[in-house]
Amino acid sequence: MKFSDGYWLNQPGYDLFYASVPYEIDVTEHAIHVLATQVLNSRGDTLAGPVLDIYFSSNLENAIRIKVEHYRGARKKGPAFDLYAQEGFAPTTTETDEYAELVSGKTRVRIHKGNSWLIEYYYEDRLLTKEGWRSTSYITEAPYHTQERMLAQKNFNRFFAEDQDEATAYTRGQLNLSVGESIYGFGEKFTTFVKNGQKVEMWNSDGGTCTEFSYKSIPFYVSNRSYGVFVNHAEKVSFEVGSDTVSKVSFTVPGERLEYVIIGGKNIADVLVNYTNLTGKPALPPAYSFGLWLTTSFTTDYDEKTVSSFVDGMAERNIPLQVFHFDCFWMQEFRWCDFVWDKRMFPDAKGFIQRLKARGLQICVWVNPYIGQQGAIFDEAVEKGYLVMKKNGDVFQTDMWQPGMGIVDFTNPEACKWYADKIRALCDMGVDAIKTDFGERIPTDVVWHDGSDPLKMHNYYTHLYNGVVFNTLKEYYGENKACLFARSATAGGQQYPVHWGGDCFSQYESMAETLRGGLSLCLSGFGFFSHDISGFEATGTPDLYKRWSAFGLMSTHSRLHGSSSYRVPWLFDEESCDVVRHFVNLKGRLMPYLYANAVKTHETGIPMMRAMIVDFGDEPATWNLDRQYMLGDNLLVAPIFNEEGTALYYVPAGKWTDIQTGEVFEGGKFYETKHDYFSMPLLARPNSIIAYGSFGKDVVYDYARDAKFVIYQLEDGKQTECKVYDSEAKLVQRIVATRKGDVIEVEADNKEIPFTAESSDGCKVVIL
């Protein structure tokens, strides 16, 4: 929210109180309390006006929690994010004549004493950010009868509402933006990658990928100065990123209190590790999920014969297929989501699923949390009180999406069990994964079973919804076997992968905005990302299909899906089949490398698919890059976004090698290269090893046996290693390579597993 009117004035109709003086600083062993007041010129100034209680604490290393309170007696209603503490951890405090300081790991906050407001945050001795004059503030809407408010108010009739004399309150935090500082994150945002100059609202919406709306709103941002800020509020948080005051990031919440966390780190990757320590690590998706997914598409006609023709067509063209997904119309129209197969199209659904599984496929089906009035389970849901209610006691219903639909109330434990039973019944039929669609259009004029605040539940609802489905799959199939294909999320949602990028158009601009959204999401704690290859809406050209296929198959998860047309490659042209086959096989051979990086993402929280700045933030050229990314630690990917087949991309310092052509690129500069449909920049990082497996048709195979380890541009005197896990996430092999002159010595932890090794630059390789 914007409150300033230029530098000196405020917007008409708002009264602002600023924390101006640290009037009292109370330092205890593990916390600091500051009583913040206005400048006091006499004792009479203590008799009126707000004061703010500001608390500094930490229960997690390198994460400093700040709580700002005006009226402590204001009711606290849920929901609230589940945050993790570090067992046995406590910060330390110190106090001098000049300042008080709280230290959490290598991150610390310094509160300066005196008759002015200055709070600084450091990582070791490096200043991260600070707040000073006119920063932390408490804001009220002035009474509507004031002349200023009347002039500013657009809706004149509001002046005569019964409650107009009751002020609305907000609490705001504000942190400094340094010269050259760039801000990223906030969830899946399709707007400009660097968020400076933008107003960013935390409010989940079903708005497609071409707007400022977001399916996944995460009140967390990171800075190229290697710190993060998490605003611990499930409700709408309004950020002004250098857009209200150009040298500040402001974050505003309604009400009497504000809580946020400053997270330090040595680099952005370290910040993301610390942030996911706080909000949860991404679960490890099952190995099969990294293969190619094919769907029925959305509004297309399909039945058992149609689906079988797709599977047969992929097999006839030798295109390895891993997952088949049934979208909405596996259920009968007007009845979503009642979990009942449409017998007109699938008279023997369980038998058909088993026949598909016998061909080596995993099965996914679409669900959502909305129950149509015509559905077989609607009356049961109403009778048992499993749907969200209106304030007058009626079930909330709408005709938006399904006629008369209600919304499952996941704050009701019995409704959760009921919905989980529906998921388990699908598992009993042979379904392996669930696409959890929707969850963004959640009304605020309703009553929740547990009394939750409707404003907070709007964004938080998706966390409950995805959690019920994911945990049901986890209970049914076991650890590291649960897999969603989810659209909506909020903070902590990374614990329920995988997430895809929502409804994009079939054009290059949407392909680029999809990548921007994915990179922003993965800078917000999410480890894995997918999208609809060739776009969801409309039908793209064969050219777009082939380029997007390369991009999609070099993402963590890869799905062919659309709205009104099928996305099988032969409907575009025969070369599309060749391109899809080529990149499916490449991804399959890369599975030892990819799955090892997935394990690392699960263990650390560093995203598997990530913006260049995460790894190369010390190179300013990477700060704005949003059309290329790292896929794991050692593979640079630069998709092609034009019909000319040209890629413009930056190569960081060192000698990088194209894994398909062997061409070497000297780093530290930009390149523009031209590519056919079977090529795009796929560059191996210098001083790295990439493991290639003996892939056949199934991405679940023995990743270590007969693997080929390619050592890329290992410098003399340096050592590097490569880990290989089996498909159950057990470490089975570790290869260490050391260069000595023109010879690279390779040693394996497990010498009984056969493998080969070679150097990309022709060095002699000796296996010890």
Is residue 9's pLDDT more than 90? Answer: no
Is residue 160's pLDDT more than 60? Answer: no
What is the Cα–Cα distance from 514 to 339, expressed in whole angstroms? 30
Overall average pLDDT of the 526-555 stretch = 98
In a domain, 728, yes or no: yes
Are 694 and 726 in a shared domain? yes
Are 613 and 600 in a shared domain? no
Q: Per-residue pLDDT tens for 653-689? A: 999 999 999 999 999 999 999 999 999 999 999 999 9
Is there a catalytic annotation at residue 658? Answer: no
Are 600 and 617 in a shared domain? no
> Residue 738: what residue type?
T
Are 250 and 307 in a shared domain? no
Which two structure tokens, joined as six digits, stand for 389?
């209610």
What is the Cα–Cα distance from 760 to 712, expressed in whole angstroms? 5
Q: Per-residue pLDDT tens for 323-359? A: 999 999 999 999 999 999 999 999 999 999 999 999 9
Are 173 and 145 in a shared domain? yes
| C-alpha pair distances (Å), 282 with each of 42, 73, 493 | 54, 36, 8
Q: What CATH code is carried by the domain that includes residue 533?
A: 3.20.20.80
Are 19 and 64 in a shared domain? yes
Overall average pLDDT of the 759-765 stretch = 95
Q: 677, 704, 725: which is the final residue of a domain? A: 677
Q: Per-residue pLDDT tens for 359-407? A: 999 999 999 999 999 999 999 999 999 999 999 999 999 999 999 999 9
What is the Cα–Cα distance from 156 to 549, expressed in whole angstroms? 54
Beta bridge partners of 683: 636, 658
CB-based contacts of 571, cutoff 8 Å, min separation 6? 565
Is residue 315's pLDDT more than 50? Answer: yes
The CA R_g of the chain, rounded to the nearest whole Å, is 27
Q: Per-residue pLDDT tens for 559-594? A: 999 999 999 999 999 999 999 999 999 999 999 999
DSSP H or E segment with residue 733: strand 731-740
| CA-wise closest residue to 307 among 290, 291, 325, 320 | 325
* Confidence band for 45, pLDDT divided at 50, 70 and 90: confident
Overall average pLDDT of the 761-765 stretch = 95
What is the Cα–Cα distance from 180 to 193, expressed in whole angstroms? 15
Is residue 605's pLDDT more than 80? Answer: yes
Cβ of 604: how many Cβ atoms within 10 Å?
A: 17
Which two structure tokens, joined as six digits, stand for 570?
């032969």
Say which of 69, 409, 440, 513 is annotated catalytic. Answer: 440
In a domain, 600, yes or no: yes
Are 222 and 243 in a shared domain? yes
| Residue 155, pLDDT score | 42
Are 600 and 614 in a shared domain? no
Is residue 147's pLDDT more than 70? Answer: no
DSSP string across 34-74: EEEE---SSGGGGGSS--EEEEEEEEETTEEEEEEES-TTS
What is the Cα–Cα distance from 645 to 662, expressed in whole angstroms? 19
Q: What CATH code is carried by the domain that includes residue 66?
A: 2.60.40.1760
Say which of 503, 626, 633, 658 is annotated catalytic. Answer: 503
| Residue 41, pLDDT score | 87
In a domain, 390, yes or no: no
Are 494 and 533 in a shared domain? yes
In a domain, 82, yes or no: no
Is residue 322's pLDDT more than 90? Answer: yes
In a domain, 404, yes or no: no
Overall average pLDDT of the 215-231 stretch = 98
**Summary mean pLDDT of the chain:** 95
pTM: 0.95
Say which of 206, 437, 453, 658 is annotated catalytic. Answer: 437
Is there a catalytic annotation at residue 240? Answer: no
Q: Residue 762: which domain range?
A: 688-767
Beta bridge partners of 764: 743
Is there a catalytic annotation at residue 437? Answer: yes
Cβ of 731: how many Cβ atoms within 10 Å?
A: 14
Q: What CATH code is carried by the domain that includes residue 756?
A: 2.60.40.1180
CB-based contacts of 459, cutoff 8 Å, min separation 6? 202, 203, 204, 217, 234, 235, 236, 490
Q: 261, 279, 297: which is the final residue of a domain? A: 279
Which two structure tokens, joined as six digits, stand for 13?
């109709």
Are 99 and 242 in a shared domain? yes
E-strand spans in 183-295? Answer: 183-187, 198-201, 217-223, 227-231, 238-241, 248-254, 257-264, 292-295
Are 104 and 177 in a shared domain? yes
In a domain, 618, yes or no: yes
Q: Per-residue pLDDT tens for 441-481? A: 999 999 999 999 999 999 999 999 999 999 999 999 999 99
What is the Cα–Cα distance from 438 to 327, expressed in whole angstroms? 13
Are 544 and 639 in a shared domain? no
Overall average pLDDT of the 503-510 stretch = 97
Is residue 168's pLDDT more than 90? Answer: no
In a domain, 397, yes or no: no
Is residue 48's pLDDT more than 90? Answer: no
Is residue 156's pLDDT more than 70? Answer: no
- Number of domains making up the chain: 4
Q: 649, 677, 705: which is the final residue of a domain? A: 677
In a domain, 370, yes or no: no
* Confidence band for 40, pLDDT divided at 50, 70 and 90: confident
